[in-house]
Amino acid sequence: MRLGVLDVGSNTVHLLVVDAHRGGHPTPTYDDRAVLRLAEHVGRDDVLSKAGEKALVNAVRKACKRAEEQGCDEVLALVTSAIREAVNGLEVLDRVRHQTGVDLQVTSGEEEARLTFLAVRRWYGWSAGRLLVLDIGGGSLELASGVDEDPEVALSVPLGAGRMTRRFLPEAASGGRPDLAALTALREHAVDVLRPAAKKLRAAGPPDLVTATSKTFRTLARLTGAAPYSAGLRVPRELTTDGLGQLLGFVSRIESRALAELRGVSPDRSHQVPAGAVVAQAAMEVLDLPSVRICPWALREGVILRRLDSLGDA
């Protein structure tokens, strides 16, 4: 069957289309994304603005048209932190459903962590042993650990690269150079938030393989010398604490608009690189991780795999 996953995140609306069957390897056939920055439409009162709602409706309509053009048998639609944290999020989703016919499902942070863990487990297989998975999104950081397909520990903390940029690094958000004192404050904040999570993860047992997924980690790895996306999904990639430290020294001294000119950096996310690097460094420090392996599968693949697994129960 041809499945589509419509993922409405804090930064983008991403449509992934795959040909798949239960027990098989999902084969990507189409990939399309639109920059929405939905989280930036949520004000200090935690209300998603009318402009944000209108942009969301338009983006969902366009994605549905693309999915129809691609011949999708089914589209799985989900929203993450930006909507679940808006006080009017459910009301907005009702209106989106009424105007587009799409029922966007709110995915909790813990469920994000579990779905991403499932994708990573399937990618590396049982021989990987106990997995520890990290995923920095726009609004949150997900962490999970376990030896099965469903993790024993699945956590979500509000340390997303977009969220931390808006809170601590407004200069970077405007295209400028991040304030060094603010970078230090962000690091201290991230460490404080991560300590309780790290305690729970350590209690689950030491990992045999530590992995990281999604755009922020892929970008950081690319900037520290990992192979480009064009080299293929199966090329080994990793991010080390040494490389990350050198990268932070670099990105803290240049304007974020200049980062957009570097290979491997999406122009729409260049302003989030400094915050993402600080959060990654804090997580790797608190968890005592010298390096992480970059996994090409993440949340969307987890959603697809979960759906394919459910077909056997029908």
Q: Is the model's pLDDT at 4 over the cut of 90?
A: yes
Per-residue pLDDT band at 311 (split at 50, 70, 90): confident
Q: What is residue 7's DSSP assignment?
A: E
Signed CA dihedral, 131, 135, 141, 142: sign only: negative
The closest of 136, 201, 195 to 164, measured between CA atoms, is: 136
How would you class 303 by CB atoms within 10 Å of its CB: exposed for 0-12, middle for 13-18, buried for 19 or more?
Answer: buried
Provide the token pair at 114: 């579990």
Q: Kindly state the helix (H) or strand (E) to which residue 219 belongs, with its residue range.
A: helix 214-223
Enter the tokens of residue 157.
């903390």
Residue 172 CA to residue 274 CA, distance in Å, equals 8
Question: What 3-state DSSP class applies to 298?
Answer: coil
The residue-averaged pLDDT of 233-254 equals 96
Do residues 5 and 295 make contact, with C-beta atoms less than 8 angstroms apart? no
pLDDT of residue 28 exceeding 60: yes
**Phi (first) and psi of residue 166, to 5 degrees:** -65, -35
Beta bridge partners of 106: 79
User: So what's the pLDDT on residue 21?
Assistant: 87
CB atoms under 10 Å from CB of 148, counted, come to 12
Distance CA 240, CA 243 (A): 5
Q: For the segment 78-95, what is each residue's pLDDT rounded down to a tens digit? A: 998 889 889 999 999 999
What pLDDT sits at residue 25?
Answer: 86
The CA distance from 199 to 203, in Å, is: 6
3-state secondary structure of 234: coil
Answer yes or no: are the C-beta atoms of 136 and 220 closer than 8 Å.
Answer: no
pLDDT value at position 313?
58
Beta carbons of 278 and 248 less than 8 angstroms apart: yes
List helix spans (H) across the chain.
50-69, 81-84, 89-100, 109-124, 161-168, 170-173, 180-203, 214-223, 241-251, 256-259, 273-286, 299-311
Task: Reply yes or no on whether the pLDDT at 126 is more than 80.
Answer: yes
Measured in whole angstroms, how far is the alpha carbon of residue 83 from the centre of its chain? 15
Residue that wins the pLDDT comparison between 285 and 37? 285
* Rounded CA separation 132/143 (Å): 7
Model pLDDT for residues 184-238, shown as the tens digit of each residue: 999 999 999 999 999 999 999 999 999 999 999 999 999 999 999 899 999 999 9
Q: Which two tokens stand for residue 186?
A: 């962000």
Pairing of strands 74-79, 2-8: parallel
CA angle 271, 229, 39 (to 5 degrees): 30
Flag whether pLDDT at 314 surpasses 70. no
3-state secondary structure of 113: helix
pLDDT at 312 over 70: no
DSSP string, 260-293: TTSTT--GGGGGGHHHHHHHHHHHHHHTT-SEEE
